[in-house]
Amino acid sequence: MQLKLMCHGEAVECGRTDDCHSAMCSRELMLKVMHSLVSPHIKPVLNRIFEIQELFQLADVVCLGENQLHHVVRMCEHAIQIRENCLQELGISREKLLTAVLFHDSGKGEEVDDRGFGGRKMKQVKVPRKLKHFGIPSWVEFSTPLHDHIERGLVIGETYNLKDDILEAIVLHHHVKILPETLRLMARGLFLPGVIYEDILHYKPGQYAVGGSTLSQAVAVIDQLCAIERKFEGRVCLNGEPEKMEDELVKDLVIGVTDTSDPRISLLGNCLDGRETVILLDIRSFGSFVASNSEYKVQSMKKEVLHTIRSVIRVQDFYREKDMVSLVGGDEYAVITKVLEDNIIKKMINRIRAAIKGRTGFDVRYGFGTGGTIEGNFHIARDMANSQKGY
């Protein structure tokens, strides 16, 4: 029989018989499974994980509700996503950042595993003498078992002959002071909204107070970013993800399945009071386009219209909170805006219609609702748009 694991409901075979006990067999099988679970751009990093024996134990450690090997992989995803020009401004090589990320929690073990924590409590302890060489003062918050992995991680890093700046990043990722300029460049490189920037900048100033290199700060930023993701139980905005989050949020708001307490609003750097205007734009004659074109062209056209609407409102709203847009139906788009004056709303609509017409050739029916809740305004806008059908 062949060795199999289930992944996404399908059996993954290693191609060897079950009497095979080769370490290479396990490695190849694990690689197949992990390749199927991660984003394509992270795959080159996976081979490096198998070069660090100490990371294997993290696969069986759950800390603060997250599998610790997954935590390392997720941090690697963030490190890979940072724009190259921002890394150059920071003076950090991507290779060193990835190495520091891979080793930063290598010293963790069952002592931080939530499942075996039982009644044990955190206990303040003295900073280990070996760590004081890196500038950690005696007064910082240092607890057992939470911070035990730092000294062990340093020892592991030394056995791999890591350079001093990488060792420092391993030691200081819980205590280094993150400077505003470093955080600003990291936020720009990762496309982070203002609320995330502020969360990281002001998190535990009494603990994150040790001077350290930019590399150490970068690892600490990414580690805190993963903590924020755990808090919000979702992935933080990267590259195209803010727009995807916005798309889903607007749909939920206009149909009333969520309200202004939704944490995604803050994540997107916005603020709503629940009485915003809703504009509905419905593409005319889109059914004919669907009937005569491939699904690929149809979906591309829908995205083109969405991007066109976003580009127009982003220009006009550059100096204030941005309006939010979503494709809410087959060919319907909703805009949530704080603008309340009818004459300004109509100017917005005309500008959007002109942009869509210019880029795609399509005209739109439109409607808008003001004065009520977001959900109620959406229904008013839809009724107004529907009244334009037939002419």
pLDDT tens digits along 169-196: 999 999 999 999 999 999 988 888 777 8
Q: Is the pLDDT of residue 346 over 90?
A: yes
Say if residues 239 and 337 touch (Cβ distance below 8 Å): no
Note the pLDDT of residue 295: 86
Q: How far apart are CA 96 and CA 72, in angstroms?
A: 15
Note the pLDDT of residue 12: 37
Say if residues 255 and 375 touch (Cβ distance below 8 Å): yes
Confidence band for 2, pLDDT divided at 50, 70 and 90: very low
Q: How far apart are CA 312 and CA 77, in angstroms?
A: 31
Element (H, E) at 180: helix 180-190
Mean pLDDT of all residues in 367-391: 90
Residue 257 or residue 50, greater confidence: 257
Q: How far apart are CA 223 and CA 72, in angstroms?
A: 9
Round the average pLDDT of the chain to a whole number and report it: 83
pLDDT digits (tens, 9 = 90+) for 98-136: 999 999 999 998 888 877 655 557 788 998 989 988 998
- Torsion angle (degrees, nearest 10) of CA 329, 330, 331, 332: -10
Q: Is the pLDDT of residue 240 over 70?
A: no
pTM over 0.75: no
Residue 153 or residue 83, greater confidence: 153
At 350, list the tokens.
């005309």
Q: Is the pLDDT of residue 86 over 50?
A: yes
Q: Is the pLDDT of residue 37 over 70?
A: no
Cβ neighbours of residue 386 under 8 Å, at least 6 residues apart? Answer: 365, 367
Mean pLDDT of all residues in 339-349: 93
The mean-pLDDT minimum among 36-40, 262-266, 300-304 falls in 36-40
Say if residues 236 and 225 touch (Cβ distance below 8 Å): yes
Q: How far apart are CA 268 and CA 10, in angstroms?
A: 36
Q: How far apart are CA 78 and CA 225, in angstroms?
A: 9
Note the pLDDT of residue 234: 57
Cβ neighbours of residue 94 under 8 Å, at least 6 residues apart? Answer: 79, 80, 82, 84, 87
Note the pLDDT of residue 29: 66
Cβ neighbours of residue 23 under 8 Å, at least 6 residues apart? Answer: none
Tell me the HSE value of 379 on the side-chain side, using a 13 A CA sphere. 6
C-alpha gyration radius of the chain: 26
Element (H, E) at 220: helix 214-232
Note the pLDDT of residue 11: 39
Residue 216 or residue 62, greater confidence: 216
Q: How far apart are CA 88 and CA 68, in angstroms?
A: 29
State which of 56-65, 225-234, 268-277, 337-346 shows the largest mean pLDDT: 337-346
Longest dimension (CA), the chain: 81
The mean-pLDDT minimum among 163-177, 300-314, 336-350 falls in 300-314
The residues with which 5 forms a beta bridge, in sequence order, are 12
Backbone angles phi, psi at 337, to 5 degrees: -135, 155
The mean-pLDDT minimum among 190-199, 243-252, 291-300, 356-365 falls in 190-199
Note the pLDDT of residue 53: 86
- 111 alpha carbon, distance to own chain's centre: 28
Q: Is the pLDDT of residue 199 over 90?
A: no
Q: What is the tally of helices (H) and strands (E) in the chain?
A: 17, 10
Confidence band for 239, pLDDT divided at 50, 70 and 90: very low
The mean-pLDDT minimum among 172-186, 247-261, 316-330 falls in 316-330
Confidence band for 5, pLDDT divided at 50, 70 and 90: very low
Q: Is the pLDDT of residue 318 over 80?
A: no
- Torsion angle (degrees, nearest 10) of CA 330, 281, 305, 84: -100
Element (H, E) at 6: strand 2-7
Note the pLDDT of residue 120: 58
Q: How far apart are CA 205 and CA 23, in angstroms?
A: 45
Note the pLDDT of residue 193: 76
Q: Is the pLDDT of residue 30 over 50?
A: yes
